[in-house]
Amino acid sequence: MIALLFRDLKLALRAGGGFGLGLAFFLIVTVMVPFSVGPQSELLARIAPGVLWLGALLACLLSLDRLLALDWEDGSLDLLATAPLPLEGTVTIKALAHWITTGLPLVLAAPVLGVLLNLPVQGFLWLLVSLLLGTPALSVIGTFGAALTVGLKRGGLLLSLLVMPLYVPTLIFGAEVARRGAEGLAVQTPLLLLAGISAASIALLPFASAAVLRVNLR
């Protein structure tokens, strides 16, 4: 499993879908928002949690179309399906590699970019906590979408259309945690719901992704 994890990390970086591309897109979104809505500090502070969460979500989408496509193209996916490691474990490792190369850098960069949007000081911690809890769900859900569209020509657009509705609950509760934290309100309810979504996704979706891959590989 460790060897597969390091292999996927190297593939993600070499394929151009690593942390650099996601961070660049995240930075562009954050910088462009003040130009589009104006320099009003109060307005930027109010919309900062939602903008940062939306930017992180869209940045996660950038590398999803290559998550399983590389293994499909070179035949590695057939070998992984017949390996001693269950396909559910393989899918979980690939989701973990995607989170390490895409989700984790976004989590670390979000508080820094929050300064550009005048995010209140008390909101930085809760922004970090919400992204730490929510971005694993984005990677696992994205892996499920990649499994659905693997082998399809130009499946990137279809993948985005399939995954975006599934991302909505995570986006809502993640942004709500950051917003309430920035305003000094209680965050327990959206935080628990966000953690529940991530836990359910991690527990259930690898099995669904593996089942879909078995169908596609027949």
Q: Helix, strand or coil for residue 63? A: coil
Q: pTM for this one? A: 0.90
Q: Give the Cα-Cα-Cα angle 104, 134, 199 (nearest 5 degrees).
A: 115
In single-letter form, the type of residue at position 38 comes to: G
Instruction: Give 171-209 pLDDT, tens digit per residue.
Output: 999 999 999 999 999 999 999 999 999 999 999 999 999
Read off the pLDDT band of 22 (50, 70, 90): confident
Banded model confidence at residue 168, pLDDT cuts 50, 70, 90: very high
Can you give the pLDDT at residue 216? 79
Rounded Cα gap, residues 214 and 151, in angstroms: 12
Query: Residue 64 above 70 pLDDT?
Result: yes
Instruction: Give me the pLDDT at residue 18, please.
Output: 55
User: Is the per-residue pLDDT at 15 higher than 70?
Assistant: no
Q: Which residue has the higher pLDDT, 114 or 4?
A: 114
Tokens of 115: 């300064």
The one-letter amino acid at 199: A
